[in-house]
Amino acid sequence: MIRVHQVKCSDPKDIEGALLKKLKMSKQDLLSWSVHRQSVDARKQKVLFSFIIDAEVRHPKKYLSNPDVRIAPDEKFTY
């Protein structure tokens, strides 16, 4: 699983399209995704939504050359 930072879009319904565009990948290579964190950038007239996405992709090493892509850390709670 990879974690993609700085996925920006003006409509929160189009997160998947923005993710595919950022990674320059086809829909077939994207297996699943979930929103890890979201924020709103309303400093200008056009409001942008910025997301951090955890994505399951077919070939994760292919996308690690992008500086906004990292391996998602395992965040399971243990005591």
CA 19/CA 9 separation, integer angstroms? 9
Mean pLDDT of 26-36: 94
| pLDDT for res 39 | 95
Structural domains of the chain sorted by starting position, each given as residue range(s) with its CATH number in brackets:
2-71 (3.30.70.2700)
Mean pLDDT of 33-43: 94
Q: Which DSSP helix (H) or strand (E) runs through 19?
A: helix 15-23
Mean pLDDT of 17-24: 94
| pLDDT for res 79 | 78
Tell me the pLDDT tens digit for each residue of 41-62.
999 889 999 999 999 999 999 9
Do 66 and 55 touch, CB atoms closer than 8 A? Answer: no
What pTM was estimated for this model as a whole? 0.84
Q: Which residues of 37-72 are buried (b: 16+ CB within 10 A; e: fewer)?
A: eeeeeeeeeeeebebbbbbebeeeeebeeeeebeeb
